[in-house]
Amino acid sequence: MRRDFLKCCTLAGLGLACPGARAATKEGEAYEGPYYVVFNASGGWDTSYLMDPKGIHEINRLYHEGDILTQGAHKFAPNAKHIAAGMSNEDFYKEFGSELLTLNGLDYSVNNHAPGARYMATGKLDSLAYPTFAALVAACKGPACPISYLTFGNYSNTGNLVAMSRVPYPQSLQRIANADFVDGNARAPYHEDVVLERINKALDEQHAGRAAEARLPRVERAQNMLYAAQINSKALQRVTPHIPKNIPKERLSQQAEITLASFKAGVCVSANLSIGQFDSHANNDTDQMKLIPEFLAGIAYFLRRAEDLKIRDKLVIIVQSEMGRTPTYNKGNGKDHWSVGSIMFIGSGIRGNRVLGATDDGQLHVPLNPQTLITDKDQGIRVRPEHIHHSLRQFAGIEDHPFSKKFPLGVKKGEALQGLWG
């Protein structure tokens, strides 16, 4: 009964009636997937150096058209000779190409960082209220998970649906996991068990009593979220056994280990991972040849560690950036903002070895037929973030959840991408 109550109060606190909104997890239960991960190349990646190679018109300076490589259905830019560290495109496609779905010619619609990041994260350009996909799916599938939605940067709005968790270091989780023990020492409880039970019981009763009170909507929401946070936090104890003692120093490795430990412990649904500095207005090639390999190495690290933890087959991974880079170089050998780009996916239920959509020789978008997923200048549409998010919601099975309905994407009938996931 307490579990049902908790489930209800979490949703009721968000202004939703309980009967129509079922939570996917209950207090104490481990969330067992799928786990959703968004990798952000923050600042704007140069897609011509990765999944949308262009060897013409001096769109890039490091290879020619004849140098472009293929792996299955994928065409990609060669970069093994130009990188000093990280993972080359060659190695990445060789290892993951068969699982990888790429969509080129995505119309970001704007070429500024803030709105671009917001649009890519939420599927809505003109609202500040919308949750990111990661937050939305966490709220729908794991409202009772203690760190349901993890974020390490980039646009992270929750739409007031779920609390976001920022965990800067793996060690910080270890410090707080055993909250009822002095310094987390299992042999030094603050209270005897019987006392702690009575404290928790009093809090339960108080919370139940408040449900009948007249409360302002904000008060109700806050009290419910606070209660759920404290109760659910007990599950954090499950995380620490999965945090390795030695973690590589790379930026994404730290984020990966915190995320994977949380997934493995069943306390987390989604995570927003990010590395920045892609905004290569000066010396584009130098920067992109450093950052793309670092980014790919981080993704590979994540997938391999997930394999070790035996949760690889439960991952849904989205790889994105908030904008692309111009097909021309500026005077500082950099590339400026460009509103057309790409997005990639890997994961359970996603058929890989596919490339959809395209850009033309000027790196301009080519319309895509939403029914056939073939480029089609006559019947095609401009595929925009809302189309991607519409498909993601469908894929996650949350498109009809009350939370999703609260934040409609406005994709017109006939514009939904059919069979995107294969």
Partner 1 sequence: MKRGSITEERRPFPVRLKPATMKRSTSRSPVLCLLILSLISSVQAGSFFSEEVWPKVGAQSCFKCHKAGGDAEESKFVLQDPARDQTPARHASLMHNQAAFTRMAKSLKDGESRLLLKATGKLDHEGEEVLQPGSAGHRILEKFVRQVDQPQPNTQGKDAPPFFAGVLMLDDARLLRRVTLSLAGRLPTEAELKRLGQPGAFDQMLDSLMKEDAFYDRLREGFNGIFLTLGADGGDSSILSYDNFSKTRNWFQSYDLSHIQDEKERQQAGYKLARQYREALLGEPMKLIEHIVRNDRPFTEIVTADYIMVTPYTARGYGNFEEIKASFKNPDDPFEYIPVKLKALVGRNKADNQDSETGFYPHAGILSTFQYLRRYPTTETNRNRLRARMYFQHFLGVDVLELAARVSDAAATTAKYKVPTMEAAECVVCHKTLDPIAGLFQDYWRFEGVYGKRKEGWFTDMFGAGCEGVGLPGEERWRALQWLGEHTAKDPRFAVTMVEHVYYILTGRKVLLQPKDLDDPSFAAKYRAHQEQRAVIESIATRFAQKGFNLKQVFKDWVATDFYRADGLTTAALNPERQAELDDIGIVRMLAPEQVERKVAAVFGRRWGRLNDQLAMLYGGIDSKEVTERATDPSGAMGSLQRILANDVACKETALDFSRPAEKRLLFQHIEPDVTPGTAEHDAQIRRTISHLHERLLGRVESAEVERSFQLFADIVKEAAARRHDTEENYYCRQGLEQPVSDPQYTVRAWRAVVTYLLRQYDFLYE
Site residues (CB under 8 A) for partner 1, limited to 238-277 = 267
219 binds partner 1 (CB under 8 A): yes
**Is position 231 an interface residue for partner 1 (rule: CB under 8 A)?**
yes
Going by C-alpha positions, the residue among 105, 148, 120 that lies closest to residue 357 is 105
For residue 304, give both structure tokens. Answer: 């391999």
Report the distance separating Cα 323 and Cα 207, nearest Å.
Answer: 46
Q: Which of 62, 44, 47 is nearest to 281 (CA)?
A: 44
DSSP state of 186: T
CA distance 41 to 325: 12
Q: Which of 396, 393, 343, 397 has its CA nearest to residue 365? A: 343
Size of the site for partner 1 (CB under 8 A): 92
94 binds partner 1 (CB under 8 A): no
The one among 80, 85, 195, 374 contacting partner 1 by CB under 8 A: 195
Give residues with Cβ within 8 angstroms of 268, minimum separation 6.
31, 35, 138, 142, 145, 147, 148, 149, 150, 165, 259, 262
User: Could you tell me how many residues make up the chain?
Assistant: 422
- The answer to whether residue 374 forms part of the interface with partner 1 (CB under 8 A) is no
In angstroms, rounded to a whole number, what is the distance separating the alpha carbons of residues 31 and 349? 18
Q: Which stretch binds partner 1 (CB under 8 A): 32-40, 58-66, 83-91, 210-218?
A: 210-218
* Piece of the chain touching partner 1 by CB under 8 A; list 70-78, 221-229, 394-402, 414-422: 221-229
- Residues numbered 7 to 36 that lie near partner 1 (CB under 8 A) are 15
Look at strands 340-347 and 101-107 and give their pairing. antiparallel
DSSP state of 368: B
Nearer to partner 1, 168 or 397 (CB): 168
Q: Are 302 and 68 in contact (CB under 8 A)?
A: no
User: Taking the complex as a whole, how short is the minimal distance between the CB of residue 346 and partner 1, in angstroms?
Assistant: 27
Least Å distance between CB 167 and partner 1? 6
Site stretch for partner 1 (CB under 8 A), options 47-55, 59-67, 92-100, 220-228: 220-228
Instruction: Provide CB contacts within 8 A for 93, sequence distance 6+.
Output: 69, 71, 74, 76, 100
Binding of residue 56 to partner 1 (CB under 8 A): no
Q: Of 29-37, 46-54, 227-235, 302-310, which segment contacts partner 1 by CB under 8 A? A: 227-235
Instruction: Decide: is 334 part of the binding site for partner 1 (CB under 8 A).
Output: yes
175 binds partner 1 (CB under 8 A): yes
Compute the distance between CA of residue 86 and CA of residue 296 in angstroms, rounded to an integer. 7
Binding of partner 1 at residue 387 (CB under 8 A)? Answer: no
Closest CA to 338 of 356, 359, 354, 353: 359
Among 77, 163, 261, 396, the residue binding partner 1 under the rule CB under 8 A is 163
Residues 281-300, interacting with partner 1 (CB under 8 A): 281-282
Please select the residue that binds partner 1; options are 56, 85, 202, 374, rule is CB under 8 A: 202
**Out of 43, 131, 146, 298, the residue judged to bind partner 1 by CB under 8 A:** 146
Shortest Cβ distance from residue 217 to partner 1 (Å)? 5
Least Å distance, CB 61 to partner 1, is 18
User: Taking the complex as a whole, how short is the minimal distance between the CB of residue 70 and partner 1, in angstroms?
Assistant: 26
CB-based contacts of 178, cutoff 8 Å, min separation 6: 184, 185, 186, 237
- Bond from prior residue into 34 cis (ω within 30 degrees of 0): yes
CB of 342 to partner 1, least distance (A): 13
* Shortest spacing between CB 39 and partner 1, in angstroms: 17
Residue 318 gets which letter from DSSP? Answer: E
Task: For residue 339, state whether it binds partner 1 (rule: CB under 8 A).
Answer: yes
Instruction: Tokens for 44, please give them.
Output: 């704007």
In the window 346-365, what residues touch partner 1 (CB under 8 A)?
362-365
Question: What is residue 356's DSSP assignment?
Answer: E
Please choose, out of 30-38, 87-95, 199-207, 295-303, the segment that lies near partner 1 by the rule CB under 8 A: 199-207
Q: Which residues contact 218 (CB under 8 A, 6 or more apart)?
A: none
Nearer to partner 1, 83 or 138 (CB): 138
Write the binding mask 103 to 142 for partner 1: x where contact by CB under 8 A, - elsewhere: ----xxxxxxxxx---------xxxx--------------
